[in-house]
Structure 1
Amino acid sequence: MACLLMRPAISLPRILNVSPRLMLSRGFASQTVPLAYDRHDPPTSSPSGPKPPIIFMHGLFGSKRNNRSISKVLARDLNRTIYAVDLRNHGDAEHNEKHDYTAMAHDVEAFVQDHKLGSVSLIGHSMGAKTALTVALQSPDIVENVIAVDNAPVDAALRADFPNYVRGMKKVEDANVTKASEADKIMSEFEESLPVRQFLLSNLIREPGSPQLKFRNPLSILASSLDNMGDFPFKNPDEVRYNKPALFIRGTRSHYIPDEVLPVIGRFFPLFELRDVESGHWVISENPEAFRQAVVEFLQEKE
């Protein structure tokens, strides 16, 4: 869901036009896809020179638009350029049958390489958090620090909400609706919360020449990939660690980072810090100011 903070900054919508290619990492190959992105520049340049840019990643069924307002604020407060990206099968990014954290991490690594960003800070919420953590463990040389919002580097089944969302979204498409109100009426059978429904329905588009609304997400691909979204590709913290700063922000009313997984986090990310924010799982939209403070304090301390 979109953050409500609005501050002035430069926003440049872009999409990287490169052909899919193979990314090699740790002995396996993955076809990467280009990531669509919005670039948010700080209003003034840093007197001490350019700072590492930030890549901001959304959660499942989200897009770069969800992080637009908070990205502008963070670009101003941190005096850094922020790339809010659309991960594969979301927003304006290309679709691909393979949808897991290893593949999404390779997309981000290719994005850093193709844009010649050098070393970056990563921020990700939910699915984006696990993607960011995978990049940090997989390619630590390109990651200055990482911020994971309400997700952890462990295997954990998704809540039943997400399969339910997919069923509702498929029913919307099958109904060939032409109005958002019609789609919302159907989705209300599957989700009581109006803000959550609005978040999901923000993915509806009307294709040229058609009166019908369809979801920009490939629902069949995401439906078959829900188990992957609960998994984490690295299982043994004795084999791989990220020995740079990491911040985990969790919602106090969310279950995604329970206390019992903190020892596992500490083994994968021995320099991690934990910050609790009064919210549910949708930390950034439910409590944007507390989220902003946590990010700014953490990154400013690392400069």
Structure 2
Amino acid sequence: MLARRALPRLQQPFRPYHRPRFYSTTELSNGITLAYDLHEPPASKSSSSNAPIVFIHGLFGSKTNNRSMSKVFARELNRPVYAIDLRNHGDSSHDQRHDYTALAEDIELFLKQHDLKQSTLIGHSMGAKAAMTVALRQNVHIANLIPVDNAPVDAALKSDFGKYIQGMRKIEDANVQKQSEADAILKAYEPALPIRQFLLTNLMRTPDGNQKFRVPINWLAKSLDHMADFPFTDPDAARFNGPTLIVRGTKSPYVADEMLPTIGRFFPRFEVRDIEAGHWLISEKPEEFRKAVVEWLQDKE
């Protein structure tokens, strides 16, 4: 059932009080409700046969991070783009369980409920591992896979993510009322302004005027080890034979050259596109990312 309505009480995510936001939701059979934005291709080129794209954000992100790029893909590829909020992020419901198997199940149920066939999954960071997990589980059919700056391996997260959690907790403890106050606190944990701005997109104002995070910080903190893991360890037992594009940042450690043989065993039809950027390559080099994805998908049509 598709709806724009309140979520079940026990899974009600933090909601903004200062302004309304419009999005769609899908209640899944496992009790999770996923929020999403649908970006349609131009009306003159729209067709029921246009294969959909599902765009999946990373840790502490949301569907809004991919809004501009989703609109570009819908226009240039003439395909509907579903930008989703994973559980515990954005406007989706909260749940104590947060690992890649759970995230993959949510995505699979979303694809089934919307009857999305021949889909392309694009995921960044946490979203990349979630998308790869969907592909390897083979519970739903997908046509193409585009993991962005993550690999199908167990690899420790950079310590930055733990620092982000510390800074976010410090902000909530301080009961700040202005985003500038939150930024001043977070500066001690992350010097880069663009990353601080990204994290602070999760801030919302409560009725008492304080700024709180809409993501469940404590639950996500307990899940950081799960975000470093990957649920598949044997490439001989699970394999995705569809076209796969690995987009990686040359200044990021998450898809090192020594990981490529493992990637090739899980995804034998993979290709690599390098972008001179760090882990946040979609926001750092949007034009290079757009070109890599659009040209690759057009070649696969």
User: Which residues in structure 2 correspond to 1:44-193 (within 5 Å)?
Assistant: 44-46=43-45, 50-139=49-138, 141-193=140-192
Instruction: Return the alpha-carbon distance in structure 2 between the equivalents of residues 241 and 116 of structure 1.
Output: 23
Secondary structure of 2:23 counterpart: strand
Corresponding residue number in structure 2 for 1:205 = 204
Instruction: Return the alpha-carbon distance in structure 2 between the equivalents of residues 41 and 285 of structure 1.
Output: 22
User: For the aligned residues, what is the CA RMSD?
Assistant: 1.3
| 118-127 vs 167-176, which moves further | 118-127
Instruction: Return the alpha-carbon distance in structure 1 between the equivalents of residues 109 and 86 of structure 2.
Output: 12
Q: How many residues align?
A: 280
Pair 140,45 (structure 1): closer, same or farther in 2 beyond 3 Å: farther
Structure 1 gaps, min length 5: 1-11, 22-30
**Does the 8 A contact of 2:108 with 2:139 survive in 1?**
no
Q: Percent same amino acid among aligned pairs? A: 59
Secondary structure of 1:35 counterpart: strand
TM-score (norm 1): 0.90
Instruction: Return the alpha-carbon distance in structure 1 between the equivalents of residues 84 and 283 of structure 2.
Output: 17
Instruction: Return the alpha-carbon distance in structure 2 between the equivalents of residues 47 and 251 of structure 1.
Output: 33
CA drift at 1:118? 2.4
Instruction: Return the alpha-carbon distance in structure 1 between the equivalents of residues 157 and 37 of structure 2.
Output: 28
Corresponding residue number in structure 2 for 1:260 = 258
Letter paired with 2:278: G
**Does the 8 A contact of 2:40 with 2:46 survive in 1?**
no
Letter paired with 1:156: A
Instruction: Return the alpha-carbon distance in structure 1 between the equivalents of residues 186 and 274 of structure 2.
Output: 31
Residues 168-210 of structure 1: CA deviation (Å, up to 9, x unaligned): 0000000011100110010011110111111001100012x22
Residue in structure 2 matching 1:14, options 21, 24, 27: 24
CA drift at 1:139? 2.1
Instruction: Return the alpha-carbon distance in structure 1 between the equivalents of residues 297 and 177 of structure 2.
Output: 45
Instruction: Return the alpha-carbon distance in structure 1 between the equivalents of residues 269 and 196 of structure 2.
Output: 37
Instruction: Return the alpha-carbon distance in structure 2 between the equivalents of residues 32 and 157 of structure 1.
Output: 30
CA drift at 1:117? 1.4
Instruction: Return the alpha-carbon distance in structure 2 between the equivalents of residues 155 and 171 of structure 1.
Output: 29
Structure 2 gaps, min length 5: 1-21
Pair 48,87 (structure 1): closer, same or farther in 2 beyond 3 Å: closer
Pair 203,47 (structure 1): closer, same or farther in 2 beyond 3 Å: closer
Letter paired with 2:176: V
Secondary structure of 1:196 counterpart: helix
